[in-house]
Amino acid sequence: MSDLERFFAQLVRNLAAGNPGRLRQPLTLAEIRESIIPYRANRRALQLESSEDYELIVMRLCAGEGGFAITEPEEAHADFVNELRSPNPDLTIVERHRKAVVALEPKSVAKALDPKPELAYAPWEEQVSQAELTRKAEADAAEKSPPVQDKALRCTHCGAGLPAGRVVNFCPKCGQSQLRCPKCRAELERGWRHCVGCGTALGEA
C-alpha cells in the first residue's frame, strides 16, 4: 500500500467513525488537515516521519493523484498539479488553499470501507462469488430442462376435455365413469382399494 493509499484509507475510516454522512459530502481542505485527519493524531497510522511528508501527501490527494478525490475550484487543483511537478514543491500551498473543496471518489470510498483482495490474476473460479456460481448453475439447469407443461385432463372413454380444479367422476360429454383400473381398465367406484376385475391394488383411489 502506498503512502497516498494509506492516507486515503485512514481519512475514510476517520470520517466513517465520526460522521459517516460526510463521506458523500464535499470537505474543505482546512477541516481535512485540522479535524478529520490531523497529522499529530494520525502520524503513527499514516507511518509518516515528518509533517512535511504529511503536507506532500495532502498535495498529491488534492492534485487528483490515484483518482481518490476531486478538488475545486479548478484553479486550486491546477496549482497543486503544477507545484508537484516542481523539483522542490512549496508546501505552503496547502495553507494558501485551505478553503478549497475536496470531494471523495465514491468507488474509492467503498473500497476503503470494505477492501477486497486483488483478483486480477486469480483463476476464474476464484473471481466469481459462490452466489454467482450457484446462479449460473441454476440457469444452466433451467436451460437444459424442458419446460413443464400442464397436462390437460381428458375423458378415458371419448377423449373430451374434463373440468380442472375439481373431482370428476363422470365425463360431462359422454357420461362415462372416469374411475378405471390402470391395469385392466375396468370401471371402479371411489373408495375402492382393489379392482374387482383383476384385483390390482388401487391405494386410496
Over range 105-111, report the average pLDDT.
91
For residue 34, the model assigns a pLDDT of 93
Q: Which of 33, 26, 29, 34 is nearest to 98 (CA)?
A: 29
What residue spans define the domains of the chain? 3-113, 153-205
For residue 181, the model assigns a pLDDT of 79
Q: Which is higher by pLDDT, 47 or 149? A: 47
Q: Answer whether residue 125 shows pLDDT above 50.
A: no
DSSP, residue by residue, 123-169: -HHHHS-HHHHHHHHHHHHHHHSPPP-PPPPB-TTT--B--SSS--S
- The DSSP code for 25 is S
When pLDDT is cut at 50, 70 and 90, the band that residue 1 belongs to is: confident
Q: Answer whether residue 114 shows pLDDT above 70.
A: yes
Range of 4-13, 113-122, 154-163 with top mean pLDDT: 4-13
pLDDT digits (tens, 9 = 90+) for 73-107: 999 999 999 999 999 999 999 999 999 999 999 99
